[in-house]
Each structure stands twice: as structure tokens, then as C-alpha cells.
Structure 1
Amino acid sequence: MAFQQIDVYLPDTQETLGKLGADVPIVDRHTVTLADGRVLERLIVDGTLTEAALERLQKQMGHTKDYRIVVSPIEATLPRPDEDEERKSTNGSDRISREELYQDMSDSVKMRGVYFALVALSVVVAAGGMMRDNTAVVIGAMVIAPLIGPNIALGLGTTLADRSLIVKSLKTNLSGLLAGLSLAFGMGLVLPVDPGQSEIALRTAIGLPDVALAVAAGIAGALAVTRGLSTAIVGVMVAVALVPPLVAVGLLAGSGEHDLAYQAALLLVTNVAGVNLASVLTFLVMGVRPMTWYKTEQAKKATRWALVLWTLVLAVLATAIWLAA
């Protein structure tokens, strides 16, 4: 992982950072007094040690008012790190820091107009592809769908016991799914829907491969965001599990095929549960934890409840699927 630049703005020259400690080696460090009297401490650390450095800084700044910490990626630096610096970097985790992860996920759950516009476009494109039995068009709809953020953010909020992120994720996720379902239902009312089309019929049957797909999508999405990678391609995989069954539910319900719509709804809810269960487990394995002891205890309880809830949902759905078979 590349180097990161950490800028610490202190209110005046009376405040100093001191030493960060041997556990957080600093590649480079500069102190600058700004024109307004504040002090800027600029640190360069290995990207894998960013979280440890931020935790230490926040603890040191606990008594300081009006400070600001800003993290920026460094694309390249010269001279290149020597072997000693590379060995030090292996002490860190192979993921971006908790704060960077939280910021990325917080941005993804904001309910902007473009979010609903992309949901609507993905539904229209997916519905057109499914009614014409055109797989390529359905795949195009998955590229558009912005559903990865709210689902992965829900898993992160649970792992960090962050009530605000959990609530925002649920609101954004449910709003997007309901908006897409309403649009697909309206299309089913006015357009001819053939349940025999393979792209529609595939979403009215569920088996273990579908559950495996949902779990794999959740793991891939969580891994992508923890590594700071682009979620565009991984978002397609999450959309595979959510968009087609969502559109199938709306089209079939709108056209009066309620039994088939029920089957597609089972697939949709199963996939949602699978994605969220997998994302929580992945964040746990990747070592994403709150900073304070109190929050850590809260996070353990929240995570246990989430794991029990999603597992129970999958068990209930498996029973419903077995009864409907």
C-alpha cells in the first residue's frame, strides 16, 4: 500500500505532538507555523500504518480543542523507501484506515437525486433486457445500479456499532429498493410481461448457487472497500444479486403473476440477507474495530445480533423456499 500524508493542524505553538512512538514509524515529518498562528505538523507514514497513527494522534489530541487531522494519499515519492522501511510496513494491516473506510461509506449512503436517478435507470434498462430476453442489456443495468454502497455501509455500521451509519444505510437501501420496485411494478401494469422469458423465469427459482452468489458478492464488496479499490466492478456483482430479482418482482406483480412474484421476492430477500451477512463477517475478519474499549464492547453486541438476525432470516427463507417447492 502507498504512503499517506497526515496533516495535523494545531491551534497554537503551545501544542506539540511529541513522539508518536516506535509502534508508528514516521517516514518523514515537518513542522510549519502558519500565518494565523496555528501549527501544521505534516507526517508521512506507510499506508498500512495509517490507522495506528490516527488512533495515536486522536488519543494525544484528546485534551486539545480546535485541532484538525487531514489524511491524503501520496501517489509517489522519491527517494524510494529502503528495505528497512518496507519491513516496517509489514506491521500494519493490508487495508485502508477505519476513518477512510468510514468516510467512503458515509458518502455512499447520502440520498441525493443522482442516486434515485441511477436506481430508476438501472430498473428501466434491466426491465427492457429481461422482457426482451437480452442478457447483455441486463448486465448493462447492473453497471448503472448504485446499490453496493448502502448494503456494505450497513455491514460497516454494524461492525463499528455506529447507530448513525446504520440508520442512514437502512434508509438509503430501503428507499432505493422501494423506488425500484415501484417503478418495475408500474412497468408491469402497462407493458406485456411474458413469465416464460428465461431472464424472468431464472429469477423465480432459487437454489444454493443463488445463496452462494449473494454471499460472494457481499465478501467481494467488503474486501474492495477495505482495500480502497474501485467498487465499480464489484458493484456489478452486488447488482447481480439485487437488481434482476427486484425488477422481476415488480414486473410479475404488476402483470398479475403473484405466485411467481412471491418466488422472485424470496430470491431478493435471500440475496439481501446473504450480502449483509457476508459483509459483516468480512469486516470482522479484516480487523475493522472501533477505537475505544466502550465502543468495541457495543460493536461486539451489535455484531452478534446482526449475525443472529441475518442467519435467522436466511433460515426462515430456506424454510419458505422448501415449502414453496
Structure 2
Amino acid sequence: MLHLRLITPADRTDGVVELIEATVGTTHLAVLKGAALDPRGDVVLCDVAREAGDDLIGALREAGIDECGSIAVDDIGLSLSKRADQAEEDAPGEAADAVLWEHLSEVTHEESTLTVTYVAFLSVATMLAACGVMLDNAILIVGAMAVGPEFGPLAGISTALVQRSPRLVWRSLWALLAGFVLAMAVTVGFALLMNALGLFTRDMIEAPRPATAFIWQPDWMSFVVALLAGIAGTLSLTSAKSGALIGVAISVTTVPAAANAAVAFSFNDYAQWSGSTLQLLANLGGIVLAGTLTLIAQKAFWSHQRRNLPTASPAPRR
């Protein structure tokens, strides 16, 4: 279940209440007259089944409540109520399959911004992966994968493509490409420093390294793994099962490939540099493709589900 907290102008409250009451899957409706001070108006509270939430939020935005008031949405961890159980039963579909497009757009927008923190995480992850590839240490590689924040912009690109939002596409693409370029540049400097200290040597990068050699030797399996990871990552975002993102992070070699490309470049090993770069691009492309196709499939599925859900009329504008 979702909990909605709305601030509405006094002259719009009746229309909002009618809209909520007309939406299948809503319950626990409460109106606090004159309770809101900034902006001034009424506070309307209600719970809605997750599978009906997207339609209700969309109708409220269509009515302009987000412009003249406020729409806040929270997940309800525990709701002991027969009315809530009945609301979830009335709403078609399953809550775990529901996609909140407004929430998804908001999350990917926040995680697709090129910030100092984002670049710092990506740089640290890439340097950690550089240590892993030079030492042929799979544990360090897994740790670097888990630290890397690159799935946010990848999900942002997929979401923007499905939602047809060119601005978010470019914003996410900029964060992704600029972030990796900066992280790889920092890692090149890190590799040169480690070489000067005698901790990284040419012999280390030219060694067989059986545990991590796959990083600069891409094949079709690399692309298949990226596709599967993209599906799993997208499902974890849309179903609010964020724990699955850890598994996604450690299943693709984006950060390790970037790290090996940076280290190889610092030692003028252009064969490994090109192979690692190809691995990086294959993984990024596979995740975006899979994420986009997954969102398209989910959108088509819920379009079918909505045919069984009475359409709520927007609150009248005054």
C-alpha cells in the first residue's frame, strides 16, 4: 500500500476527494480542513493499493494539484486493516508487479546527476578495481563492482527513452560518460603513482591473470550477462526490491573494465586498453537495451491491466 498526503486549495478539495473515492483501490480517506499553512489549504490523506497508485497520482497531476498544492507519497511497511486488504483485492494485478512511473522518473532523475559524490564513488570504485586487476584478485573486483554507482544513469537513460524525455536522456548520458572519463583519468594518475612507488609494474599487467583475464577479453557471453543484469536491475527498481541491485552490480564488468583500460593505458598496453574499452561499451549498451525493453514490456502489461481498472476523472480545475 501507498500513503498519499495532499495539500489542496480549499476550493479544490471536494474535487480531489471525489477523484480519490472514484479510484478503485483507495481507502482510509481523511480531510483536515484548513490544516495546511504553506501553501494554505486543506490536507487530504488516503491510502491506495500500489497497483492503482500510478493512475491516481497521474490524475492528480493532470488536475494540477502538484502545481497549486503538494503530492507526497510514502510506502506503507505495515498496514493492519481489513479495508486496506479489501482495497488491494479490488485493484487489478499484483502490487509487486506495479510500476510507479512518477517515482521511477524521480529516482532516476536524482541518480542521473553528475555530482561530486557520484564521481568520487565511481573513481574510488575504479581505483579499487585497478588494484584488483593488477593483483588478479577476484574479491577486490567484486568489491569494486558493488561500490560503483553507474546503474543510476543507465536506468535513467532507459526510463527517459521509454518516457520520451530527451532532456533526461542527455542528462543521464552526460553523467555516465563524463563520470567514467573522469574516473578513468583519476585511475590513470593513480596507476602512474603506484608505478612510481613500485607497487604496480609492467610485469603485473602482462602476467596471465587467469581470475580477471575475462575483463579485457569480451565475448558474446559478456553481452548476454549485461542483458540479464539490465533486466534484473530494472525490475528491482520498479518493484522497490533494491536489494537485488547488489547482485546486478557484481554481475557486470563495467567498473573493472574501465579500471583495466585505465591501467593498460598508463602502461601503453593498447591491446588490453581496446579490449577493456570494448568490454565496457558492451556492458553499458547491454544494460541500457535490456532496461529499455523491460520498461516497454512493463508499460504494455500495465496498459492491459488498466483496461480492467475504472478510470478516475481528474479533479475539476477552478
- TM-score bracket relative to the smaller structure: 0.7 to 0.9
Q: In the alignment, is the contact (CA less than 8 A) between 2:6 and 2:45 conserved in 1? A: yes
Q: In the alignment, is the contact (CA less than 8 A) between 2:33 and 2:43 conserved in 1? A: yes
1:179-258 alignment, distance < 5 Å: 179-189=182-192, 190=195, 191-193=200-202, 194-195=205-206, 196-230=208-242, 232-237=245-250, 240-258=252-270
CA shift in 2, pair 1:91/1:220, >3 Å: closer
**RMSD (CA atoms):** 2.5
Q: In the alignment, is the contact (CA less than 8 A) between 1:133 and 1:197 conserved in 2? A: yes
CA shift in 2, pair 1:149/1:234, >3 Å: farther
CA shift in 2, pair 1:140/1:271, >3 Å: same
Indicate which of 44, 48, 64 corresponds to 1:45. 48
Indicate which of 132, 137, 150 corresponds to 1:134. 137
The runs of 5 or more residues in structure 2 that have no matched partner are 304-318
The letter of the residue matching 1:186 is G
State the 1:89 CA deviation: 3.0
SS at structure 2 position matched to 1:225: helix
Structure 1: how far apart are the matches of 2:253 and 2:213? 15
Higher relative contact order (CA closer than 8 Å, sequence separation 6+): 2
Q: In the alignment, is the contact (CA less than 8 A) between 2:230 and 2:288 conserved in 1? A: yes
Structure 1: how far apart are the matches of 2:12 and 2:234? 42
1:1-325 alignment, distance < 5 Å: 3-13=1-11, 15-16=13-14, 17-20=16-19, 22-35=22-35, 36=37, 37-61=40-64, 66-81=68-83, 84-91=86-93, 94-189=97-192, 190=195, 191-193=200-202, 194-195=205-206, 196-230=208-242, 232-237=245-250, 240-287=252-299
What is the TM-score normalised by the length of structure 1? 0.80
The letter of the residue matching 1:233 is I
Aligned residue pair count: 287
SS at structure 2 position matched to 1:198: coil
State the 1:188 CA deviation: 4.1
Which stretch of the first structure deviates more once superposed, 212-221 or 50-59?
A: 50-59
State the 1:92 CA deviation: 6.1
The runs of 5 or more residues in structure 1 that have no matched partner are 292-325
Structure 2: how far apart are the matches of 1:125 and 1:116? 14
SS at structure 2 position matched to 1:228: coil
Q: Give identity over the alignment, percent.
A: 20
Aligned counterpart, 2:315: none
